[in-house]
Structure 1
């Protein structure tokens, strides 16, 4: 059984059940890009034929995994603007330099989410740096999700808390890592927001360090 999670690409970029993918089924977190408004909690399984769908419908009926009418309406509302939103999400991406074999590959964005390490900015390297900078953003909301029209930012402590610390470090997920889920706001506005938040956090950290140093001198 082959299954492809197509949540991040969404149907706008790729159809896993079509050639060249030999997929048996595709799964989507409709909560993310398909809905796009952060007001639905829903998933979907896309099946290739009627016989497979019939077997799945028996399980669905037995387990009661049926969305409510309002949830279905909200998801359909979001799906109507999927193509518009996906273009905006990827508007700052650059096309790949390597020729691709098919249209969906040519349209894939090189990046959809941006990660950066606070420790690479100035002297802001302590474990609380990520949280401090994120509390100073004006457009990015401190929340854990993606795919909505609004931009979100989350430190690794929130995004990967269920992963044991040793495994996080082995994967390169360190306490100074921040994940930005970019929405559809203006690119220049989002860039300026990150820059001012980092600048404020760095200045406050430096001032705190200087004050602590003077306090140590006075005590000595």
Structure 2
């Protein structure tokens, strides 16, 4: 299954539809088949057809996804994993060794913090949580020991912004790799490799898949030597995406541009409402002119995305009540699906950072704004903030 050549000169939407797969030469199928096979017939000992021998090492459906997401991130090679955390673990243990040090964001996703703090630390990899400014990163670097700088932008759940180009310069000056978790932005809104990052990581469960029906992860790089190191550990550690999961994620990527535009439009409407509401004390959204990272976000992102966080005036009890009263917004973890989700980070997605310097405010509510009718989303939040129930017409 030879992939078409689609360079960065092709438009994003064109790459999303065509990159990674040519129509099947036998049937003309325009969508990649789901190759539900574990092994492949060889034409003699060592005579592989298309390079495939065993589906942990390679599967045509996964190859199509990997080529597609690499093209969307303007990278040279992509790798599809069973989950975002599987991608992170393989990346860290594949590129680092015991005794190495990682500079790490001080408001990272709770699962990523747990991975570094409870798993990688036992393997001998240390980390230092720091702020997002380049000078904070520089101050935390340990000469000769820091081998990786890890950033999220926007961060989860406080939506801080990192200047990728500036932090890349700091990391490279120290001889360290810059890894950017691009999950919140997606490849449509931001392409970190073009700004100097060495590695991009995704939880493809989120915006890339986009329909809350698949769990997956991805890593994309530009440097082919680095790609070979990751490829070895991808196969050796084995946390690869299965063919059906790969197919679902690839299906999601084909509509990513359309969905991200609608997510962003709806989020902007929701933010406009929240900033005027008397029960809301603070709104976190990089599209707001007074957001401390607004200028950087405007420079390195196409739009500001579908994630919104806010704090309520009544403390934790009110935040929990808002989450429980919402009806159109579904109370649930994860993000990036077509449906809107609401959650309490302190009790849910970020419970693992409670009691640490990454602990999030107890009155914080996080929204993943979906693609429903914006007026319905705003009405639902208004009722939840006032303690009223949604009408039956919205909840049937």
Give the corresponding residue for 2:341. Answer: 152
1:13 matched residue in structure 2: 189
Do the aligned residues in 1 keep the contact of 2:188 with 2:302 (CA within 8 Å)?
Answer: no
Partner-residue secondary structure (3-state), 1:157: coil
Q: Which residue of structure 1 lines up, in the alignment, with residue 307 of structure 2? A: 113
Deviation at 1:40, TM superposition (A): 1.4
In the alignment, structure 1 residue 199 sits paired with structure 2 residue 375: no
Mapped to 2, the partners of 1:101 and 1:177 lie a distance apart of: 24
Aligned residues: 191
* Aligned partner (choices 77, 84, 100) of residue 258 of structure 2: 84
Alpha-carbon distance, 1:159 to partner: 2.7
For the Cα contact (< 8 Å) 1:4–1:23, is it kept in 2? yes
Would the alpha carbon gap of residues 72 and 104 (structure 1) be closer, same or farther in structure 2, given more than 3 Å must change?
farther
**Aligned-pair CA distance for 1:201:** 6.1
Unaligned 5+ runs, structure 1: 203-220
Aligned to 1:142: 331
Give the counterpart of 2:373 among 179, 186, 200.
Answer: 186
Greater than 6 Å deviation, 4+ residue runs: 94-97, 100-104
Alpha-carbon contact 1:112-1:182 (below 8 Å) kept:
yes
Task: Tell me how large the CA RMSD over aligned residues is.
Answer: 2.9
Query: d(CA) in 2 for partners of 1:130 and 1:48?
Result: 42
Task: Please tell me whether the aligned partners of residues 260 and 306 of structure 2 are also in contact (alpha carbons under 8 angstroms).
Answer: no
8 Å CA contact 2:190, 2:302 repeated in 1: no
Spell out, residue by residue over 1:29-73, the C-alpha distance to the aligned partner (whole angstroms, 9 max, x if none). Answer: 111111111111111110113332222111111111211111000
State TM-score, norm by structure 2: 0.44
The change in CA–CA distance for 1:36 and 1:106 in structure 2 (over 3 A counts) is closer
- The CA distance in 2 between the partners of 1:38 and 1:164, in whole Å, is 27
- Relative to structure 1, is the Cα distance of residues 16 and 25 closer, same or farther in structure 2, using a 3 angstrom cutoff? same
Counterpart CA distance in 2 for 1:27 and 1:88 is 23
- Correspondence for 2:223 among 49, 70, 82: 49
Cα distance in 1, alignment partners of residues 288 and 357 from structure 2? 32
In 1, distance between residues paired with 2:385 and 2:299?
A: 36
Asked if 2 retains the 8 angstrom alpha-carbon contact of 1:135 and 1:142, the reply is yes
CA contact (8 A) 1:151 1:181 kept: yes
Normalised TM-score (structure 1):
0.76
Post-superposition CA distance 1:70-100 (Å, at most 9, x none): 1000000100000000000101439787xx7
SS at match of 2:192: coil
Q: CA deviation at 1:134?
A: 2.0
Deviation at 1:113, TM superposition (A): 2.1
**Alpha carbons of structure 1 residues 166 and 46: separation in structure 2 relative to 1, 3 Å:** closer
Q: CA 1:27–1:130 in 2, change beyond 3 Å: closer, same or farther? A: same
- Structure 2: how far apart are the matches of 1:87 and 1:113? 13
1:102 CA displacement: 11
Given the superposition, is the C-alpha separation of residues 137 and 70 from structure 1 closer, same or farther in structure 2, using an over 3 Å criterion? same
Does residue 68 (structure 1) correspond to residue 256 (structure 2)? The answer is no
Contact residue 319 and residue 365 of structure 2 kept, 8 A: yes
2:232 to 48, 58, 72: 58
Q: What secondary structure is seen at the aligned counterpart in 2 of 1:4?
A: strand
Tell which deviates more after alignment, 65-74 or 45-54. Answer: 45-54
Secondary structure, counterpart of 2:180 in structure 1: strand
